[in-house]
Amino acid sequence: MATNGDHGTFSTTYGMGADNLLEAIIMTPNGSVLLTNPRKNWDIFYAIRGRRGGTFGVVLKALSRHIPLREDQTVPFQVCLLSNITTTPNYIDGWGIGSANEDVATGGLALGSRLPSPKSLSNPNVTAEVFQQIDPDPLGNNGVYTNPSILGHTITSPNAPSYHVEVISTTPTWRDALTHLIVVERWRDDIAQPLIDAVYDDITHKKIQPLRELSPEQEHTSTNAIATNYNDRRRSGQRTTIY
């Protein structure tokens, strides 16, 4: 969803999903239906353009920039997938049952994430040392809570937005980040609340803090840039109007 920033495979080429959002119609918690764009109800448009739009209302319609399909890449990819149709029935029958002790549910999980810059990951020795601090517990899945997982995915968007940059609330850190690192830690459904609290404490101080220290230059950058854009528009005196 563009309201959460919306990063993906094409972010490096076309920017974030929020960058391509042109206008939207939103229903606010008081029942008002608003047309939001850079000219009308800009404050709501600013809020849903990268800052978790569900907090401000339900987006009923959205208009985004059209991205042309790249024919040179989709055709070979589809041909590759077609070959699986004839081979899949030959092996799928042998996997009708999964692992005998496979988990069917978990008690919960805690998430933490950072957006490290290329500079922060340039020294492999330092990076390896930080990842060692987030190393899994030797007890593994036999412990009170499971080993943490580190996910690094989706090269982020280096492109600055071109459509009304003053009303985009996506954190600027996305523009400088090399990847999106997410730390995940789960716990069983039968553990007590103090142990659950310990998981959150572990994620915050032992897992995310080392990642935060990798990119100290990013601290406060996002908040300051977002606040500047918002205050500039607020001083212009534009008001919210009902659609």
pLDDT of residue 31: 92
Residue 73 lies in a domain: no
The answer on 139 and 191 residing in a single domain is yes
Residue 131 lies in a domain: yes
Same domain membership, residue 204 and residue 134 = yes
Q: Where are the beta strands (DSSP E) in 37-132?
A: 58-64, 108-114
Q: What is the pLDDT of residue 241?
A: 39
Residue 133 placed within a domain: yes
Domain match, 42 and 122 both: no
Please check whether residue 197 lies inside any domain of the structure. Answer: yes
Q: Are strands 33-36 and 21-27 parallel, antiparallel or unpaired?
A: antiparallel
pLDDT by position in tens, the chain (length 243): 566 566 666 777 777 778 888 899 999 889 999 999 999 998 888 888 876 656 788 889 989 888 777 666 555 555 556 666 666 666 666 555 555 555 566 668 888 888 887 788 788 888 778 877 776 555 444 444 444 555 555 566 666 667 777 777 777 777 777 777 788 887 877 788 888 888 888 888 888 888 888 877 665 444 444 444 445 545 444 444 333
**Which one, of 13, 48, 16, lies nearest residue 174 by Cα?**
16
Is the same domain home to 123 and 181?
yes
Would you give the DSSP letter of residue 145? Answer: B
Do residues 36 and 112 share a domain? Answer: no
Quote the tokens at residue 29: 């918690």
Structure confidence at residue 34 (pLDDT): 93
Query: Looking at the whole model, is its pTM more than 0.85?
Result: no
CATH number for the domain including 10?
A: 3.30.465.10
Split into its structural domains, the chain has a count of: 2
Cα 12 off chain centre by: 15
**Same domain as 138, residue 40:** no
Domain residues for the domain of 180 are: 106-218
Q: Is residue 77 part of a domain?
A: no
Residue 213 lies in a domain: yes
